[in-house]
Structure 1
């Protein structure tokens, strides 16, 4: 199969595209993949590192208020469509898959005009502007959350497929997770992650809750700060425990995140769609602090979806403090029956077969064409 993948700006759009590409390559060895993105987005660095051919177009997103810049964006979109058509005619794909972010707008639209089968994947409960626009032209839509379906009423082929990033944790190794952290097997620990770039509010709340963790004497804490916050957070933790912080491990990042997630007792952090897909695929209870600094406040909608199912608790950032963070953790880690009930609810939401569902939807689109 010859496949064009597109989507970018953030890892939340890029990693689902790569997961779909990986599933296609495993199902159909010898498939050819081309990723079309922008050099300004993270995809310009991440995709080539995966050994996938990469082509660049120039495009910017629309501003939500009236602006002269939007006129320039329209012109860039039209040029992006023209450039995309050139790339598509040259590559001759069997299907074009968009996973959100403004870069996929001209690419997927160009493909639809050329009669190439097209599919978009929406990661969040509340769709982004680009996917809402493209839904009028594409042949199929895959959604991560059931609640997203009504937003795509203009497209007949809408499939509740989950997030393909959930599939990558199927091979996660719990033992490797414990070992990588230097913990004995089955050590109960809370994994706190502020996202790929870290989150200052979560970092500050974590430091302020340190004097309280003695109330959970058997629980360890693993805090992933992000590179930019690592030094200051690690120093604060070391000072709080006079260098003897055996139950608290501070890391700038974790390379083998699926293994560590699989070993965790509780996830605490943001409500990025791809991360939540992995968490529910593994059946982890969660304490979510959604970022308020995202388009359309979509992380809060993601978090509420899990909370309404009984799989997560939520603290809004405006209510976040050392006390509320510890209180939320203690309410789950201090109640074994509740922890297990949340884990069961989380597992019921997980869709580890997501990539396979999307692959089958793609195959169906090709047959219809």
Structure 2
């Protein structure tokens, strides 16, 4: 069997594709080919995973009419032509896309040739590429139940949840808390805004670190993002690599996010779909601050789904500051029963077998 997978641009598209790939590897003997772009994050991430990788010349659509509009149109036509060539050469039994502009020409070419196709949409509000492709592909797997109605023209829509890395599901809580030096009586708070960081969250967190400086019942694990770490250290008056206080563990990046999640009791997060899926399988109640410039404001809709379920509180980025964050966090820490109910609600949103379900769904539509 030959399986093509595509997803690019952001980690929110790439990591689900890699998780689906790894799950399929355990279920079927197949040849794989990952199709991305040469400029996207996938060009660095995917080869490191040992996945055969090739590229298509495609770029995002421009919102305003300009010379780039013609360049984009030309690259799209070229990508369709090259996608047909890749398909003819690789002869896939199925093509799977997880979002990003690179999926467009590949999935479209495959669907028009009658090759089984599946797209996986992570967010409540779908991206433009998946919205268009949904009219042509065989099945759409959605991460949120609310997203089903966003694909009225699709042949088939299945609510599977979002694929989560097995390491996140399997991480041992006791070992993780020991690794981070978290005592049994301490409430662990995980703060992260993505690999590059979220400036508004980091700025607001300065007041939290200051307020919790003398507390022994709390441990904060704060990943600032690599681009933000120096600025955060300066704002707190600490040297890079130093310890701010016993209550605060501040680092630029967490290579072991799976362990950090396993160790934590509360999270302060953006509301990207995959981050939320990981919080859900671990049952971690959260304070969500949606990234305000996400396409179609999809992070706000993701966060609202968690708030509606009783799994999270939300602070809009425009309303975020040290005082609002400190008030929300203090309130959550002071009400253990509410945290328990939020944790149960969060766990109820979790889909630990989503990757397996998506893989099975993909295999079910193949002709092999």
Q: TM-score, normalised by structure 1?
A: 0.95
Question: Would you say 1:155 and 2:154 are equivalent positions?
Answer: yes
Structure with higher helix content: 1
Number of the residue aligned with 1:193: 192
Aligned counterparts of 1:195 and 1:133: Cα–Cα separation in 2: 28
Question: Would you say 1:62 and 2:61 are equivalent positions?
Answer: yes
Q: Which moved more, 1:66-75 or 1:340-349?
A: 66-75
Number of the residue aligned with 2:42: 43
Please list the CA deviations of residues 36-93 of structure 1 after superposition, one character each: whole Å capped at 9, or x if unmatched: 0001100000000000010011101112334442233222111101101111111111
Q: Secondary structure at the match of 2:228?
A: helix
Q: Which moved more, 1:5-14 or 1:171-180?
A: 171-180
Counting only pairs closer than 5 Å after superposition, residues 289-328 of structure 1 correspond to structure 2 as 289-328=289-328
Aligned counterparts of 1:349 and 1:167: Cα–Cα separation in 2: 17
Cα distance, 1:216 vs structure 2: 5.8
Number of the residue aligned with 1:8: 8
Q: Secondary structure at the match of 1:97?
A: strand
Q: Which moved more, 1:272-281 or 1:171-180?
A: 171-180
Aligned counterparts of 1:349 and 1:262: Cα–Cα separation in 2: 17
Cα distance, 1:218 vs structure 2: 1.0
Mark the CA change 1:300 to 1:199 in structure 2 (over 3 Å): closer, same or farther.
same
Aligned counterparts of 1:75 and 1:53: Cα–Cα separation in 2: 26
Q: Secondary structure at the match of 2:115?
A: coil
Number of the residue aligned with 1:87: 86
Number of the residue aligned with 2:329: 329
Q: Which moved more, 1:170-179 or 1:264-273?
A: 170-179
Please list the CA deviations of residues 4-43 of structure 1 after superposition, one character each: whole Å capped at 9, or x if unmatched: 1101000000000001101100112x32211000011000
Aligned counterparts of 2:215 and 2:142: Cα–Cα separation in 1: 39
Aligned counterparts of 2:323 and 2:215: Cα–Cα separation in 1: 14
Number of the residue aligned with 1:339: 339
Number of the residue aligned with 1:139: 138
Question: Would you say 1:357 and 2:360 are equivalent positions?
Answer: no
Aligned counterparts of 2:172 and 2:61: Cα–Cα separation in 1: 42
Cα distance, 1:263 vs structure 2: 1.2
Consecutive unaligned residues of structure 2, counting only runs of 5 or more, are none
Counting only pairs closer than 5 Å after superposition, residues 53-132 of structure 1 correspond to structure 2 as 53-132=52-131
Alignment: residue pair count: 366
Question: Would you say 1:265 and 2:265 are equivalent positions?
Answer: yes
**Does structure 2 conserve the Cα–Cα contact (< 8 Å) formed by 1:84 and 1:110?**
yes
